[in-house]
């Protein structure tokens, strides 16, 4: 073949490659527009696909917006089949009136996720991973009927093995044990080399289910559509919810220098039944096994609680965006203070508008984020919002040293939130999350005291923060990609 022939073949190859790129670009752009997502997110994905034609397609395949009609339909069927009329009467037996100022807020939550206000006769704030582990092991050891656990991260390390040991012992004693873990977050536990740990639990009578296990016919949900929830329900009467996973990384007894600083919640009373409801949906969805309710799963006879509580659940199977809406509405309701803790601050446009609006109208707004999260891109994206926040009057604090991981909100003196959701697009729209909203002065003060204790480990970010030009550019690029994070 002559040089001219090679040149012609090269030009022809380039022509057909450019033509294929153009056609695929038009098709993919039309497909993304058809998803009817937020305009900012839609434009970001269109830019990514067109500027990075091959790499962008791979990124989109794993991280891109997904319609979840199949999962949504399956979960609707799950909800319809899960509860009998008697079950629903039991669930709704504890339904106190919300405070007058919170009537519409509580209605918004119930309408967006179906979970009404309820109550707790016992609430314990757990301010560390070790305290949370101690409480979990204590409650599991005392279980008389069942133990239900759902975690995003459940590691086969020393902490995880301690929990598995108690689960195995209780299963061997006849307690119904059900463990639900996420396929991505708990991938090490599910690896072949750790199979004996779960096999021992199953042989003792325990059950294990995996949320969205990766398969060759379903690659995309490997990254998105995760259960980021941390739920423990013991005997239907004691529940735990918050940000703490089962891992040595959050256990300061094992890692005193660098264990995550995090917050969790222990509940007793009617509110636990709604945590149970969320778990049962996820369990049935992931395992396909419907539980026979024998009076233990949703126990009756709980005394009315003094603390009004509302469980909030959200996920990509619903357009309700319950946690997202609840956070924005709470920010809009604030009159005195908003103290927000989050490890990942990549807000949606409505969320940052609500936050800055509050500061502009005179509400004291304080935000704590880690000095460095476990993602350099997320840290840069968060810092790209600092100037906008500070110009509105928001005080931004960076937690020094260890990773800062609480997901909490203190609003005024009567409202507080502890949950699994970060203040970011992924938690608001892509992950399955759960939180507890508490309409109570004492709990609000406890969480405020914890916030102030965290401030003692923080540095106030100066308004004239100086950063090198290359870092400013990196933060700007990270912010541009924030709708994709």
**Domain layout of the chain by residue ranges:** 3-63, 69-95+122-268+271-304, 322-484
Q: Which CATH architecture has domain 322-484?
A: 2-Layer Sandwich (3.30)
Half-sphere exposure of 84 (CA within 13 A, CB side): 10
- Distance between CA atoms of 362 and 355, rounded to whole angstroms? 11
Q: What beta strand segments (E) does 36-140 contain?
A: 118-120, 122-126
pLDDT tens for each residue of the chain, 485 residues long: 554 554 544 555 566 666 666 666 676 677 566 655 666 566 666 666 666 665 555 555 555 555 455 566 567 667 766 777 778 788 888 888 889 999 999 999 999 999 999 999 999 999 999 999 999 999 999 999 999 999 999 999 999 999 999 999 999 999 999 999 999 999 999 999 999 999 999 999 999 999 988 653 344 445 677 899 999 999 999 999 999 999 999 999 999 999 999 999 999 999 999 999 999 999 999 998 888 766 788 888 788 899 999 999 999 888 899 999 999 999 999 999 999 999 999 999 999 999 999 999 999 999 999 998 877 888 888 889 999 999 999 999 999 989 999 999 999 999 999 999 999 988 998 899 999 999 999 999 999 999 999 999 999 999 888 888 878 777 777 777 665 55
N-terminal to C-terminal alpha carbon distance within the chain:
49
Task: Collapse the DSSP code of 34 into the 3-class scheme (helix H, G, I; strand E, B; otherwise coil) and give the result.
Answer: helix
Instruction: List the Cα angle 348/73/270 in 5-degree steps.
Output: 75
| pLDDT for position 41 | 61
How far apart CA 154 and CA 419 sit, in angstroms, is: 17
Residues with Cβ within 8 Å of residue 364, at least 6 apart in sequence: 336, 337, 338, 395
Dist CA 462 CA 391 (whole Å): 11
What's the confidence (pLDDT) of residue 3? 46
What residue ranges in 71-127 does DSSP mark as E strands?
118-120, 122-126
Give the pLDDT of residue 337.
98
φ, ψ for residue 229, nearest 5 deg:
-75, 150
> CATH number of 69-95+122-268+271-304: 3.30.70.20, 1.10.150.20, 3.40.50.10800, 3.30.870.10?
3.30.870.10
69-95+122-268+271-304 and 322-484 share one fold: yes
Q: What is the pLDDT of residue 301?
A: 79
Which pLDDT belongs to residue 360?
98
Can you give the pTM of this predicted structure? 0.86
Strand order in the sheet with 458-460: 118-120, 307-314, 433-439, 415-419, 408-411, 337-341, 364-370, 395-399, 458-460
Active site residues: 228, 230, 235, 405, 407, 412
Token pair in block for residue 195: 């199979």
How far is it, in rounded angstroms, from Cα 371 to Cα 403?
A: 8
Q: What pLDDT was estimated at residue 297? A: 87
DSSP E strands, 356-457 = 364-370, 395-399, 408-411, 415-419, 423-424, 433-439
């Amino acid at each position: 073949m002559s040089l001219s022939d090679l040149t012609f073949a090269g030009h022809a190859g380039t022509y057909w490659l450019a033509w294929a790129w153009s056609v695929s670009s038009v098709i993919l752009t039309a497909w993304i527009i058809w998803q009817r997502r937020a305009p900012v997110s839609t434009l970001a994905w269109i830019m990514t696909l067109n500027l990075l034609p091959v790499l962008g397609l791979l990124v989109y395949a794993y991280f891109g917006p997904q319609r979840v009609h199949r999962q949504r339909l399956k979960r609707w069927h799950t909800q319809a089949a899960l509860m009998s009329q008697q079950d629903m009467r039991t669930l709704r037996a504890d339904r106190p009136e919300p405070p007058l100022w919170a009537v519409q807020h509580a209605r918004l939550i119930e309408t967006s996720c179906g979970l009404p206000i309820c109550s707790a006769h016992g609430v314990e704030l757990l301010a560390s991973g070790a305290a949370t582990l101690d409480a979990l092991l204590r409650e599991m050891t005392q279980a008389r009927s069942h133990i239900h656990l759902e975690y995003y991260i459940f590691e086969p390390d020393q902490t995880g093995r301690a929990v598995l040991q108690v689960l195995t012992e209780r299963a061997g004693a006849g307690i119904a044990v059900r463990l639900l873990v996420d396929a991505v977050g708990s991938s090490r536990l599910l690896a072949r080399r750790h199979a004996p740990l779960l096999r021992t639990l199953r042989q003792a009578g325990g059950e294990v289910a995996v949320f969205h296990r990766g398969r060759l016919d379903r690659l995309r949900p490997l990254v998105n559509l995760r259960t980021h929830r941390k739920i423990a329900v013991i005997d239907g009467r004691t529940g735990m919810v918050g940000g703490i996973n089962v891992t040595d990384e959050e256990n300061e007894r094992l890692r005193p220098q660098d264990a995550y600083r995090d917050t969790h919640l222990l509940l007793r009373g009617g509110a636990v039944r709604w945590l149970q409801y969320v778990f049962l949906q996820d369990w049935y969805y992931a395992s396909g096994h419907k539980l026979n309710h024998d009076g233990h799963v949703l126990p009756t006879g709980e005394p009315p609680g003094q603390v009004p509580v509302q469980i909030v659940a959200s996920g990509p199977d619903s357009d309700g965006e319950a946690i997202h809406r609840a956070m924005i509405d709470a920010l809009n309701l604030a009159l005195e203070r908003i103290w927000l803790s989050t490890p990942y601050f990549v807000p949606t446009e409505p969320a940052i508008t609500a936050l800055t609006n509050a500061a502009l109208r005179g509400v004291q707004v304080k935000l704590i984020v880690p000095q460095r999260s476990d993602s350099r891109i997320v840290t840069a994206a968060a810092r790209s919002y600092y100037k906008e926040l500070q110009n509105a009057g928001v005080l931004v604090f960076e937690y020094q040293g260890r990773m800062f991981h609480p997901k909490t909100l203190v609003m005024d003196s009567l409202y507080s939130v502890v949950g699994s959701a970060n203040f970011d697009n992924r938690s608001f729209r892509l992950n399955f999350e759960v939180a507890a909203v508490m309409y109570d002065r004492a709990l609000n003060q406890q969480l405020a005291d914890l916030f102030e204790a965290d401030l003692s480990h923080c540095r106030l970010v100066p308004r004239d923060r100086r950063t090198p030009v290359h870092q400013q550019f990196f933060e700007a690029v990270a912010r541009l990609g924030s709708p994709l994070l």
